[in-house]
Structure 1
């Protein structure tokens, strides 16, 4: 597939836990239902199958049902090589997805990371059956969140969202996105698509940086709170989205830094898009509230992807200016008045350098 080797997974047939630990005393167990161990970054699975061929029949997708023995011989599911050549995502067996419903999200992740692979209608049908049974709702949050985060790094990250929706798997874990499919993104002529379609467009424009892709997914989620009689206008959606993103991130047990970036995307993307008409004091408030130069750069990239407005150079220039302004000793230790004075000094500096 002309892709670099990311990691190596080993399947142990006919071995025991004791035998593995004797050979690798520092092996770290990571599996619960399945005996999985990490050894120097590689994954070792103690299979309950009697043969490697039998083990391959338990996999999720046919393109993953391949193995290589220690002599370099390829052992493959009967359809694996054919589907690899055809660039097709197809389930090994329907029941395998019911045994482990996380494979629904894993399949969507493969679609995001392999954009030139098509998703067979039968795979989508299996996903819908698993989701309709409610099996996905009982998964550990970390497993669903892990598949999302891997998808954010994909070449077409929005495919994770679209395939999950086609497979009926947004409900429950990604309820906000399911709602977004029923909400107009905004008034014509600015938007003629649904909110979900808009979020997916922005995600793919930001592909290559997983944090920015996540911010693209989050930035307009506040629009799902807009009353129907007000739509397609979405006044105040930037503030409304902050708590929505917080709850989504908490539900999926995502890293706190990633959640904060998504919350910042919602809160500040509209303000940053109007940066050139903001008053100096408001600019200071924005820059100090964001706090991090890295996050500010990510927000600027989001604004470009969202509406084509590029204020990056000016915003980062102003960020450097205000952080070179420090409160004189005579103003320090005065409580809120100290903060007010620092804000005034920084606003004056922006005026002088505009």
Structure 2
């Protein structure tokens, strides 16, 4: 018997990217993202500017997603949208649009947790790619989150450890800012690190109990190190930029891998996946593959297009929820803070 084809229109607007995708079951028909370059001159995302840009972008982005998928809106089975976590003004734009469209088409509305979606991006049908088997461990790393999650099923997840202060993406971006690199600095740190000596400058690693993380002390350590070196040599950063970036990336990667090794040992689960914007970092991806080979882990790394914020991951999560008929009422609200549980 041929299974029903479920067409999901997905909308993502948690931060500064307006994204829309159309999925047919677990297959992506279109995945459109509109970036907001305006934030670069401010050195970070400005929430008010982000929400205004979402208002300008959402109609053309959704229209483009439907056109690329060659789907008429009357063929849609449901609308999935990011309800949190994220910037409240940005979330409200996506939520309001999704609710209005679902009401107008008289089809189900599905709210999606952004961090859960990063994990489930691994289940997007991807030309022979084998998704993780349950249970598995997911390391979710982004600008706002750092978590180790036990994934027992598509809709059954448990956070085993998380950052107690700053997220790993913030550590990369703040370090880049200290080095005078433009926003977003994380990808630039990665770029320079590939040519540097990762062992040149040792930086402190926090001693956090259990599976929790902390990156505030590392940022402070980098700040004091740079201040000291620049007092002695004002050109220190320019002369050693590649080695500094490599050393920072090596330290952050080591912190993540140490916790992941601990999680595997505690749970006995050796199937490991990563997700979130920082999972695009080449050093982290390489280190995970190396650890996997060394320790016999089965490692899952998402395609680059599904690492950063995108609507396809919202769509696959919406697909899993649709199959269980887990629909949302039209009075559902956006949540700036929203746990996976």
Q: Which of the pair is proportionally richer in strand?
A: 2
Tell me whether the two structures share a fold, i.e. TM-score over 0.5: no
Structure possessing the higher relative contact order (Cα contacts under 8 Å, 6 or more residues apart): 2
TM-score, structure 1 normalization:
0.22
